[in-house]
Chains A and B, each alone.
Chain A
């Protein structure tokens, strides 16, 4: 089994594509860091002693909007949220213009990680089907190993690939963050705004590890789905398509969440659960649906997908 994994790992990294993916993660992280430094965070303002005044001014502006009778409902809500947030920051003395590597990592991780999900979907969809298409699979299957070992090795290799990219992301992010934005610590305080409860104060140390850990589980699920679909439907394209569809689908699902939350079946669909990292900042993604339930639902789906794909692969006739 170890040799099979070793073989898969060597094959994976012998492809240019794999290196391009890794390089992309590295470059986009650096790019985002410069963007953050120059556009999002105003470094001059960070040294400005008047940040409290600025926050108060903003509160005043928002209060005017609230007082305005013509204002739309969403404007009022938005204003309310901003006021709450600003008041909270004033109360706890957080300068929103001050930043450091920790805040940078916390804020950019979800966006950057979505590229890792995309690349993982591509790798998972092609790692088996490309070998079938190229005709190299038959050379593996005539060797003295049971078939399931080959696809297990491939699955493990894909997971290893995703984990490597996550490491690349974390390390490069911390390095460039430190260089451009300075050192912070895990106890750096941040405002958490999950658009449901009132914004509350937390620390990077409380949110980030959970975010990363949950992301790993989430991407594992993406891998399992794309991997299985590519085998079951014998189509790399379909698997990548479905993977990307789900990737965007989870964002769309969040808007359905409100609509469908009351139906009895919606919580058993895997789509809403595929935004596991959300649990880093909230307890429930649907009313009454917490982390444990989500993981349970996803596990059942994972088992069904893997069961189907292993059974199919074990019996398949290779006559291509």
Chain B
């Protein structure tokens, strides 16, 4: 099944055009904010100007009196039901869900960060809604606030959540800790240590949040919003936010303008639902870009220390990771992001002794969450520099050091004790090294470079899950049915947020059923139509939903073959189906089209009628880890501290590229985000007030077309027996290796390390000055 050469496939392995992109190029695609329902109102949210304040009183009378205003709501109008913004948390096993803090309300009587939600209005249009916000009068009692997680742990620090004794939001011991760390480090030949922190990177999906909610006359709620996991959002809305039951919620996901993890959380849907309930009309809540920057989603800032022990022969003897995580004002993804950081960071290298611990702390900063990579880019920035330090202490080439110590097939995967099935990491490292010119450009440790402009190369490796098996609930179901003309609908529930999953699943299903790609329609985006699925995250959709689609497709094919055999009067064993035609393998002139079989099944006037369809399922406690090596070549100007990236190489263990063009695009886009994370992107928060300073694209610097260096993507295909046609996940991975590879290249070029992201020219100059090698 998995080792056929590409030429045996009709759809798989080909860069076929995605079904959804033409409509996106013509403006015909409908995103949530583009949808208008009859009688619909526009909702807007009033946010707090204070980082920590008790709401003493709210006077809504002037706002309510404004013509065109249908409702103004405050904390007094919402259910007193706590929930977490992380709808992904619904997939946690019960014992883990219990450690999630249900600290969020639709609207609260206390503001915990600048931008926290205080009140909301629904009005006939955006302009009236805006005017109404200005007319709401709020009396605040401003409270002392805390903006640094270390300060928040100090005795006497302001406590962010009422009724809590301190700001410790949670503690996680890595579940796979083992061995005697102190003894192992004491007996190691060398110990490498690196400490640092990552920035609060914004997901910055280009489509701002928007949500529409509408209740019908029977009390059933329909929501339209860009959710990455609609079925879990449906549950959270029906069971946590309101107490109406999952069956009373229908979730529709229109076109989604990027997710990158932000849409694993509730956006404004609960407010839209509340406003719609109060007004009895559909309400669309809109969010400005500035509010998004001041809001409830960013990569979590984590301060970490990693120590790596190494033996005489360069073998790793122990790894320790210590994580301090700034949750911001609400818990959201704090627990899961910290757990996944340790799994992926501690799960890539072989080590007999492992210890990881994470502490999550509340502050009055905006709520953090999970972004693409989900802990992996956070941990890898620290680990991969610690590994280079260890390699230097052993006098080993970073390439050789990683080849020697990385886990491989049969060894435990990042979520132990599952074993790694396939691992093309060595091949990724070798091909990536050739592409960057490692042997020509890396001249050994302390290769004393001179001059103003100094070049260097660096590398990084990672492992990431292809699905959440072992950690979260992990299953998907696909339904495939054949219409009378031999075309098929494949009903599945990924979130198409730009990655091209609709086309990929159609390619898998077409190949599995023997249909033409253009004859398979992927149907998604409506929980009333699709079966339960945990959604799109954990780089899982191609692997997990792909497996479900392939299972359904193969069952459809079997039914087609069986009925065709009867129509042709031959044995079914000798038949195959390809490109929409059933044929005898021994004599391909004997055959019948799938359309005829499908039509005959429905228009059957005897007793054997059948609308040909099948359901397929994927469920696994395994997550099929994928691997990747990243390389960077940079040039640093030691007089200005400016780093110019000359080239990035990403070599990914893809198993099988179902659609090479979309995989490349995914890795290139990830690399661009990784480059921003490495060098420019930072949600800067004023340490005195808690105000986000970089709350626009003018101040939060994402890369433009002008800033992109050459990116070379290498797809290493070693089909995994558990993936659809051998495919593994890729979605999140392009981002992870970039920052550590650049950081290691900086050390190669200039002999300095920067301990926090982004690596700005100021930080480089400071490091050079401290090193005594500056201009």
Tell me if chain B binds chain A: no
Residues of A within 8 A of B (CB): none
Residues of B within 8 A of A (CB): none
